[in-house]
Amino acid sequence: MTKTQTLDALLGGQQISDFSRKWVENSDTNEEKIRRAYETLKKIGLSDDKIASRAELLGMNPETIERNYQALSKLGLKDDKIASQAHLLGRDPETIERNYKRLSDLGLKDDKIASQAHLLGRDPETIERNYKRLSDLGLKDDKIASQAHLLGRD
């Protein structure tokens, strides 16, 4: 069975983007890893529709998905929040860890980071650049932490 056939068998009729199909087809994964990634995503609570919309995750290493899931859970993110931010499951674990550490260093508590989970997937340089700009404007760390969403802006 080809990787594309495996996608179609797992997601039975769901619309999968050409990007995701090509991503999975060009990945170094195999049918077993695609199935394991699918099972992990289902366990977290992603519907087939949500998985199809992020089908490139099926081309990721299932261990990466699991490791990111564990890290996000440890931060206090509930499964439904993780499902709504599913792209984080495919991010480089070091990026998530680096962003978590930086946000934590700014004074954000785990519950605040969980409520702004999208920041964990941002480019760390964007967060740092925005922090510097806000700081240069005279905002103190506690004010920046209270408006953490600004760290992820363009």
Q: Which of 118, 65, 123 is nearest to 98 (CA)?
A: 123
The conformation of residue 122, written as its DSSP 8-state character, comes to S
What is the reported pTM? Answer: 0.81
What is the predicted pLDDT for the residue at 53? 93
What is the predicted pLDDT for the residue at 12? 84
SS3 154: coil
Q: How far apart are CA 48 and CA 3, in angstroms?
A: 17
15 Cβ contact partners less than 8 Å away, ≥ 6 residues apart: 52
What is the predicted pLDDT for the residue at 31? 93
What is the predicted pLDDT for the residue at 3? 92
Give, for all 154 residues of the chain, the pLDDT tens digit: 899 899 999 998 899 999 999 999 999 999 999 999 999 999 989 999 999 999 999 999 899 999 999 989 988 888 988 988 999 999 888 888 899 999 999 888 888 898 889 999 998 899 999 999 999 999 999 899 899 999 988 7
